[in-house]
């Protein structure tokens, strides 16, 4: 039991390290791209437009990577196997592309910038491989959290169940006595109509009342 708990803690720490490496890689990529803002391409309007698009794209990609790492750490994703696996595999593909992108081109630069770009690419590849490894290791909900997730569904089931209230009076109470008397009282007799022939017979003329002599 202790070994299993230690393994779970080690796996959780590894996933935290992978997320931090991913956020660091995305931030480094954004810095490398924004570095180009200090070197504007103003030879002609076409190069200038390309420079704007390239630098803006790098900034958005860096911010998007950090946001994806933050979203993947949320409980709604980290505790669901399918969502967590999709998040990690998607980020693995993203970091593999990022590592390839920063290995050459204008973003590399010279001197320290070139070293930073190559280190960023290698860390991105390590993060991509680590994301594939932890993609099938979603967090497990605790018993209290599972109970909290199940309680709304149980409440909905209880509300949708048909209710059949039964009111029973207690023995010796007026309500109970009245209910008992209603249950045991015989039905009221039905009065039969009086069909005896009156003296003198039934009236047959139109100017006499019915039943008069």
pLDDT tens by residue, 111-146 = 888 899 999 999 999 999 999 988 887 776 554 544
Structure tokens at 61: 């990609």
Question: Per residue in 51-71, pLDDT tens?
Answer: 888 888 888 999 999 998 888
Q: What tens digit of pLDDT does each residue of 137-168 get?
A: 777 655 454 455 545 555 555 555 555 544 44
Say how far apart CA 79 and CA 108 lie, in whole Å: 38
pLDDT of 195:
54
Cβ contact 86:78 at 8 Å: no
pTM recorded for the entire structure: 0.62
Q: Residue 18's CB: how many other CB atoms inside 10 A?
A: 24
Percent pLDDT > 90 in the chain is 23
Tokens of 197: 């022939």
Residue 88's nearest CA partner among 11, 13, 7, 22 is 22
200: pLDDT confidence band, cut at 50, 70 and 90? low
Radius of gyration of the chain (CA): 43
Cα(112)–Cα(152) distance, integer angstroms: 56
Q: What tokens appear for 24 in the block?
A: 């660091």
Residues 104-109 have a mean pLDDT of 81
Residue 29 near residue 23 (C-beta atoms within 8 A): no
Q: What is the pLDDT averaged over residues 204-210?
A: 51
Q: What is the percentage of the chain residues whose pLDDT exceeds 70? A: 63
């Amino acid at each position: 039991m202790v070994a299993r708990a230690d393994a779970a803690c080690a796996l959780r720490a590894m996933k935290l390290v992978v997320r931090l490496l991913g956020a660091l890689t995305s931030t480094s990529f954004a810095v490398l791209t924004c570095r180009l803002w200090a070197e504007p391409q103003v030879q002609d309007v076409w190069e200038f437009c390309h420079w704007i698009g390239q630098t803006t794209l790098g900034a958005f990609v860096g911010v998007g990577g950090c946001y994806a790492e933050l979203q993947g750490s949320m409980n709604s994703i980290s505790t669901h196997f399918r969502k967590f696996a999709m998040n990690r595999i998607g980020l693995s593909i993203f970091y593999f592309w990022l590592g390839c992108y920063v290995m050459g081109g204008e973003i590399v630069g010279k001197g320290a910038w070139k070293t930073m770009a190559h280190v960023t690419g290698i860390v991105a590849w390590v993060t991509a491989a680590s994301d594939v490894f932890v993609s099938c290791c979603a967090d497990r909900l605790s018993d209290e959290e599972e109970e909290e997730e199940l309680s709304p569904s149980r409440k909905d089931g209880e509300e949708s169940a048909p209710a059949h209230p039964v009111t029973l009076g207690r023995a010796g109470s007026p309500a109970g006595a009245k209910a008992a008397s209603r249950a045991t009282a015989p039905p009221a007799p039905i009065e039969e109509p009086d069909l005896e022939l009156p003296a003198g017979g039934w009236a047959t003329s139109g100017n006499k009342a019915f039943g008069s002599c």
